[in-house]
Amino acid sequence: MLSYSQEAMISVTGTVLDEETGVPLPGTNIVEKGTSNGVMTDFDGNFEIDVPANATLVISYIGYKSSEVEVQGKSRVEIALTPDSATLDEVVVVGYGTQKKVNLTGAVTTVDSEVLQSRPVPNVSQMLQGVVPGLNFQTSGLGGELNSGLSFNIRGSGTIGTLPILLH
């Protein structure tokens, strides 16, 4: 009997489509169940992944119900995902929870993760400094000591509520 590391691997290709419209779904996640081995579909909904012949693929896409497909030695699979109406409401992640986009009032600022990754600083407060418009910082120590904390407010001390900051 072959162990997992010795098990015969096969190349599986396929296409992921919307079940109702037949439109390809670009950016769909395809992962071998129980592992971190995964790929994403291209612009035309196509993918290719190397997995053991008896693997199960887990297919997921935002706004659609996830699906599992057993490979069973097949080299080509066609997958149709069903829209999930319960997850179609757009949501905005805010600093203290989530809100439906339709209920959000005020300004929203988005900070791309690439901007934050390129900043060699020890904490999130310092990462956001100079990146988010209207976000004012003040050191809590005297003279701006190296390890002093940062407090911040959004658009001045009279602001009511908070500015949602999206990190992605």
- The string of pLDDT tens digits covering residues 15-73 is 999 999 999 999 999 999 999 999 999 999 999 999 999 999 999 988 888 999 999 88
Identify the weakest region by mean pLDDT among 58-62, 66-70, 92-96, 107-111: 92-96
pTM of the model: 0.50
Alpha carbons within 13 angstroms on the beta-carbon side of residue 52 total: 13
Residues 6+ apart with CB under 8 A from 8: 2, 52, 53
pLDDT at 63: 82
Range(s) within the chain of domains with CATH label 2.60.40.1120? 7-85
How many whole angstroms separate alpha carbon 56 and alpha carbon 77? Answer: 12
Tokens 């097949």 sit on residue: 74
30 backbone dihedrals φ, ψ, rounded to 5°: -125, 120
pLDDT at 167: 47
Q: What is the CATH number of domain 7-85?
A: 2.60.40.1120
Overall average pLDDT of the 122-142 stretch: 70
Q: What is the DSSP letter of 11?
A: E
pLDDT at 168: 43
Q: Judge whether residue 103 has pLDDT over 90.
A: no
Calculate Rg over the CA atoms of the chain.
Answer: 23
How many whole angstroms separate alpha carbon 163 and alpha carbon 153? Answer: 9
Burial 91-107 (b: 16+ CB within 10 A, else e): ebebeeeeeeeeeeeee
